[in-house]
Structure 1
Amino acid sequence: MVQTRQWEKPMQNSPATLEPSFKSILIEVLKTALEQYPPKTKIGRILDYLLSLRNLELADKAALFLIDHGSQTLDLLVSRGFSDSDKTACNGTRFGLCHCGQAVKNGKSKFSRTQPPLLSLHIKAALFTGNYCVPIVKDGQPLGVLTIYVNGNHSHSAETEGLFEAIGNIIAVIIESQQMDQQLIQLVNDLRGSIINLREEKKFSESIIQGLNHGLIVVDLEGRIRKCNSVAQSIFKPFTTQLDGQFLADFLGDSAAKQLLTTSPSNTNQFERELTFITPTREKKIIGFSNVPQEDARGRKVGVIISLSDISELKYVRREMEKMNRLSTIAEIASAVAHEVRNPLAGIKIMAQSIEEEAKDNSEQLECSQRIIRQVDRLNELLSDFFSYARPAEPNKRPTSLGAIVAETKPLIHNRLIKSHIDLFVDISNELPKIIADPHQVQQVFLNLFLNAIDAIKEQGQIEISARFLTKSKVHYFKKRYPALLEGNNYVVVHFTDNGTGMPPEVAEQVFEPFFTTKTSGAGLGLSIVYRTLKENDAAIVLESKKGKGTTFIIFFRADV
């Protein structure tokens, strides 16, 4: 089926009924309409061409008006032969006040010989010899009106009126194309504005996401990460260098991924839920998280938004605070008990010594009195431990040599090392910076660690002591694992290692607790005193132990640098 063009639609006189010369005129007008000129230029060239046809007896005057539907007026677009007064009179004219307005109002072409009332106010009546007014209509919608003036020799005919109607249809297509172009330009401008707004909104949203002080990841329903911020990237850096596009299960495991993807009730507190991971470097990491479903515009769940934070350090601080509170409470109790018990013990010992002096000839009484004295001395030693733990002496912190402290401690345990066939290896450089601590209290710390290691080895083993300097520029590498470290400090790091029996994790977590012991003798205060003494000297201690493999105590002393 052949599609009919706008300018070929039926009219009073179709092109088939026009004279051959009129058909050639239409062909020239069509050629002009197809040229690459702006619409206004095209219409002007068409009017110039029509006015140049002398056989039509035209008056060298023509114009095209567009309709302003809002104000119901005609606005002049293109004119030829119009004087300034003509333009002033015709431009912005309301419908019905002139021939053009009447043609638009009636929707029919109009040929007039009589002068319009509007024109008589500006031009002498003798100058007006007639004009055609042809409505420009597209799809039943009036767009404007074409007016062509004729001279006194012009003879009106239906063929001529049909020619001008056909030309009007061509001009309607030109005007419609212009309007479509303007609409397209407006659409493009609106689209460009929308794209700019979307980019700005996206940039704003990304700035907010990246500016958060906690991690944020967005995943689809399959667990694939679609978006994340830099904090989330740093949290999961030990597992993967790139989060975008990764599946949670691939680097965290199915169980952890399932927990992260299971949305919680809306009233759940932020980061109330927790996950514990062991990184490839054997570092324990605790993650607090919360999540909400991500929905599309229709309210369908399309993913999960997960907020998360590394709370490993926070958990460590809380444990340390709880431990210090327990230690403080126990210390007060121990101090009170020791004070109340020591005085009666002193009386018991005096009485036992008196009995010992009077029982020189009674071997049975002598043995009993000596046994009482030994047990009282043992209790006094235990009370001394209580006091050491409950009321530690104020440390006299000063720069001191770590090597010298270890050297002074070695003679105190030399005999026990030989007796138990234990080898001692010390690797402490003379160039190592001094530590800031009370040397006497640090010596007591090492003595306790030596005795603890000898008990763990029993016989035939070895103890190794090594130390190295840790600059403050590298402290942050250790802070995640040892949160008690301060990044502004330089440290001397001591590794005290034995190859004894080692400890299972549940025992290792409690070794610094007061009165905790796995031995058959002792009060379980040795390592508690070590922990508290080091705290008083601004030092930190942690341990690494594995059942059957041995134990390493790692001590961080502030360096005098």
Structure 2
Amino acid sequence: MWSDSRRSFFGLSPWLMVGLSLVLGLAVLGLSLRSTQQERVYLQQNLNNRADAIVWALETGARMNMSGSQDNRLQTLVEQTAHQPGVIFLMMTDDNGNILAHSDASLVGQQLPADQRPLPQQPDSWRRHIKLSDGRQVFQVWQRFNPLRGRGMMGGGNGMMRMMRGYGDGADNALPQWVAVGIDPASFETTFAQTRRNNYLLAVLVILLGMAGFISLFWAHNYRRSQLLLRDTRAMADEVIASLPLALLTCDTRQRIISANRQAIDLLHLPAPWEKHPLAQVEGLDWAAIRTAMADSGRLLEREYQLNSAGGNKIPVSISASPVRGGSGQITGTVFVLRDMTEMKQLQAQVERQARLSALGEMAAGVAHEIRNPLSSIKGLATYLGGKFSPDAPEHLAARTLSEEVDRLNRVVSELLDFARPGEFSLQAGDITPVIERALRLVQSDATNKHLSLVFLPCGPLPAVEHNADRLAQCLLNLVINAIQATPEGGTISVAVRVASAGTKLAVSVADNGSGIDKQHLSEIFTPYFTTKPSGTGLGLAIVHQIIEKHRGEITVESEPGTGSVFTLWLPIYRSEHHEK
């Protein structure tokens, strides 16, 4: 059984390759055999032509000597004609096999054995291969002797025949009837053997070339498939790396960047072109410290670092690093995986904040219950005592002050309960411009009393936002009141509205040119009971943050000490199709 790795050879069955090779071999072998047979036929034709040429030369010589002296003997003609390369013997006989002339004069007058002489019933020309007594192979051709071949007798035939009798050398006036030529086939056989060997060598060469062609074709086909597979694999790998939510960066052994996905380019602000850029020159991270941390185990796993961004912000990132090894096991580079931990840190902070709020809510419920009951008694007693004295009496004023402080303390408890247990409120889609205008009207007198300019900067018709008018107005009131308290006389407070985030959010900004907030306090201003004001409760911004979260929005702050602050509410724009879903 073929294993899975051998069932196909370069994408084709190995039996198909064997079959193609056999077909090619049989075809070439058949052509070689046919060529060999043709060479054999050509060899036989050459032998026949050689013998015919000798006989023709002999007959021509006899014909030319007819007009000469009769002293020229036939024996001399035979010996001269036999002096050619490859002629073993040449003889002339009569019908009875008597040798009338022979290239070996000693054999003249002898009679050939019965099995070697021509028979009268045989054709005028016949050929055969014989073996001499010394073992030599001879190609023998018998042909009737006819010096007048192709010529008419023309009435001179009797004279011609009388002249031919002179060639009988007096031996009963016998005339030659047959010519026998013995040709040595060795040279022809050698040439044939060499040709046959060349044909076989050529056939083997063609088969080898054919197989090499098949293998080359298969290799080319496999190479093309491998290139396509490699290209598809690279494209898939590039697509996977590009779609990763993590930043991925690889460098070579010389710590030069060789690949990076879009997240890595954006996170690290890599310069263009970043290929072959030294990793140590990428700003924002202490790469030397990272390499030192990898020195012990050769890798790094989820180690947290601070990335100094181009804007001066510190971004928490988690870095993992591992060496990249080649096929031989040697290290060819390092891969770094960076994850922006900002969102995770925010989620952790939110979870911690929710845990604190939950604990605060349980405490607030108990505190409110324990405080409100005595507060009611205290306020009732203060009212009763105040009625016992005249309005101008110090005791009446003390009782009124006591009653006001009880009301203030009750408001603090109410705010605490509202923050700890905000409850659910309904949202309705609509324009928030009336909400902003109503909030500004409520604080206009406070701004005027402090000689502050209160400016509203609308941006035309606003898209609808899902909101609760009372709670959103409460947020704006808290922010504008804080701005009034932080802005010196003659300052300006502006409320601006704009569409942001590619048309998905509505930004409501409250800006002032007051004292600003220290950077060390920016991360704590939304924490309950954190305040920098002597008389503040520390719940205003915490309540604003909570209400905006209920609106599925967020609040951000930008502030510089001595310059002012900008609080921005980011509210999602209402989409009817999303609402239906």
TM over 0.5: yes
- Call closer, same or farther: CA 1:337–1:187 in 2, change over 3 Å: same
Q: Is the 8 A contact 2:364 2:417 kept in 1?
A: yes
- Call closer, same or farther: CA 1:230–1:280 in 2, change over 3 Å: closer
Query: Which residue of 508, 513, 526 maps to 1:494?
Result: 508
Query: Which residue of 251, 254, 257 maps to 1:225?
Result: 257
Query: Where does residue 412 of structure 1 map in the other structure?
Result: 442
- Call closer, same or farther: CA 1:463–1:185 in 2, change over 3 Å: same
Q: Provide the C-alpha distance between the structure 1 equivalents of 2:210 and 2:526, rounded to a whole number of angstroms.
A: 82
Query: Which residue of 518, 521, 527 maps to 2:535?
Result: 521
Q: Is the 8 A contact 1:239 1:280 kept in 2?
A: no
Is 1:423 aligned to residue 453 of structure 2? yes
Query: Where does residue 210 of structure 1 map in the other structure?
Result: 239
Give, in angstroms, the shift of residue 295 of structure 1: 0.8
Is 1:190 aligned to residue 212 of structure 2? no
Give, in angstroms, the shift of residue 464 of structure 1: 1.4
The residue type paired with residue 359 of structure 2 is: T
- What are the superposed Cα offsets for residues 120-145 of structure 1, whole Å, 9 maximum, x if unpaired? xxxxxx99989xxxxxxxxxxxxxxx
Give SS of 1:405's match. helix
The residue type paired with residue 436 of structure 1 is: E
Is 1:557 aligned to residue 581 of structure 2? no
Is 1:168 aligned to residue 200 of structure 2? no
Is 1:345 aligned to residue 402 of structure 2? no
Give SS of 2:286's match. helix
The residue type paired with residue 225 of structure 1 is: I
Q: Is the 8 A contact 1:399 1:434 kept in 2?
A: yes
Is 1:547 aligned to residue 552 of structure 2? no
- Call closer, same or farther: CA 1:299–1:542 in 2, change over 3 Å: same
- What are the superposed Cα offsets for residues 235-265 of structure 1, whole Å, 9 maximum, x if unpaired? 5496557665554455544625874897596
- Structure 1: gaps of 5 or more residues: 1-37, 60-125, 131-148, 476-489
Larger mean CA deviation between 503-512 and 411-420 belongs to 411-420
The residue type paired with residue 508 of structure 1 is: L
Q: Is the 8 A contact 1:469 1:493 kept in 2?
A: yes
Q: Is the 8 A contact 1:56 1:154 kept in 2?
A: no
Give SS of 2:549's match. helix
Give, in angstroms, the shift of residue 527 of structure 1: 0.2
Q: Is the 8 A contact 1:398 1:437 kept in 2?
A: yes
- What are the superposed Cα offsets for residues 532-560 of structure 1, whole Å, 9 maximum, x if unpaired? 12222333222222333322111123445
Larger mean CA deviation between 202-211 and 433-442 belongs to 202-211
- Call closer, same or farther: CA 1:170–1:322 in 2, change over 3 Å: same
Query: Where does residue 432 of structure 1 map in the other structure?
Result: 462
Q: Provide the C-alpha distance between the structure 2 equivalents of 1:41 and 1:229, rounded to a whole number of angstroms.
A: 62
The residue type paired with residue 183 of structure 1 is: A
Give SS of 2:517's match. coil
- Call closer, same or farther: CA 1:343–1:242 in 2, change over 3 Å: farther
The residue type paired with residue 197 of structure 1 is: S
Q: Provide the C-alpha distance between the structure 2 equivalents of 1:256 and 1:422, rounded to a whole number of angstroms.
A: 51
Q: Provide the C-alpha distance between the structure 1 equivalents of 2:48 and 2:486, rounded to a whole number of angstroms.
A: 123
- Call closer, same or farther: CA 1:162–1:342 in 2, change over 3 Å: same
- What are the superposed Cα offsets for residues 161-187 of structure 1, whole Å, 9 maximum, x if unpaired? 598469737854773475256336514
Query: Where does residue 86 of structure 2 map in the other structure?
Result: none
- Call closer, same or farther: CA 1:155–1:461 in 2, change over 3 Å: same
Give SS of 1:52's match. helix
Give, in angstroms, the shift of residue 333 of structure 1: 1.9
Query: Where does residue 418 of structure 2 map in the other structure?
Result: 388
Q: Is the 8 A contact 2:457 2:496 kept in 1?
A: yes
Is 1:378 aligned to residue 408 of structure 2? yes
Q: Is the 8 A contact 2:32 2:199 kept in 1?
A: no
Query: Where does residue 302 of structure 1 map in the other structure?
Result: 332
How many positions carry a matched residue from both structures?
Answer: 421
Q: Is the 8 A contact 1:422 1:460 kept in 2?
A: yes
- Call closer, same or farther: CA 1:467–1:169 in 2, change over 3 Å: same
Q: Provide the C-alpha distance between the structure 2 equivalents of 1:211 and 1:411, rounded to a whole number of angstroms.
A: 56
Give, in angstroms, the shift of residue 510 of structure 1: 1.6
Is 1:179 aligned to residue 193 of structure 2? no
- Structure 2: gaps of 5 or more residues: 1-27, 50-126, 132-136, 141-181, 576-581
Over aligned residue pairs, what C-alpha RMSD do you find? 4.3
Query: Which residue of 473, 489, 492 maps to 1:443?
Result: 473
- Call closer, same or farther: CA 1:357–1:239 in 2, change over 3 Å: farther
The residue type paired with residue 297 of structure 1 is: G
Query: Where does residue 320 of structure 2 map in the other structure?
Result: 290
Give, in angstroms, the shift of residue 292 of structure 1: 2.0
Larger mean CA deviation between 545-554 and 235-244 belongs to 235-244
Is 1:255 aligned to residue 286 of structure 2? yes
The residue type paired with residue 218 of structure 1 is: T
Is 1:327 aligned to residue 364 of structure 2? no
Q: Is the 8 A contact 2:478 2:541 kept in 1?
A: yes
Q: Provide the C-alpha distance between the structure 1 equivalents of 2:367 and 2:298, rounded to a whole number of angstroms.
A: 51
Give SS of 1:528's match. helix
Give, in angstroms, the shift of residue 294 of structure 1: 0.7
- Call closer, same or farther: CA 1:500–1:199 in 2, change over 3 Å: same
Query: Where does residue 547 of structure 2 map in the other structure?
Result: 533
Give, in angstroms, the shift of residue 332 of structure 1: 2.8
The residue type paired with residue 445 of structure 1 is: C
The residue type paired with residue 545 of structure 2 is: Y
Give, in angstroms, the shift of residue 293 of structure 1: 1.0
State TM-score, norm by structure 1.
0.62
Give, in angstroms, the shift of residue 497 of structure 1: 1.1
Q: Provide the C-alpha distance between the structure 1 equivalents of 2:486 and 2:130, rounded to a whole number of angstroms.
A: 128
- Call closer, same or farther: CA 1:161–1:434 in 2, change over 3 Å: closer
Give, in angstroms, the shift of residue 202 of structure 1: 4.4
- Call closer, same or farther: CA 1:156–1:391 in 2, change over 3 Å: same
Is 1:52 aligned to residue 66 of structure 2? no
Give, in angstroms, the shift of residue 501 of structure 1: 2.4
Q: Is the 8 A contact 1:427 1:466 kept in 2?
A: yes
State TM-score, norm by structure 2.
0.60
Q: Provide the C-alpha distance between the structure 2 equivalents of 1:519 and 1:154, rounded to a whole number of angstroms.
A: 137
Q: Provide the C-alpha distance between the structure 2 equivalents of 1:258 and 1:175, rounded to a whole number of angstroms.
A: 68
Q: Provide the C-alpha distance between the structure 1 equivalents of 2:537 and 2:130, rounded to a whole number of angstroms.
A: 130
Q: Is the 8 A contact 1:278 1:285 kept in 2?
A: yes
Larger mean CA deviation between 43-52 and 415-424 belongs to 43-52
- What are the superposed Cα offsets for residues 437-464 of structure 1, whole Å, 9 maximum, x if unpaired? 1212211111110121123224332211
Q: Provide the C-alpha distance between the structure 1 equivalents of 2:41 and 2:192, rounded to a whole number of angstroms.
A: 14
Q: Is the 8 A contact 1:57 1:150 kept in 2?
A: no
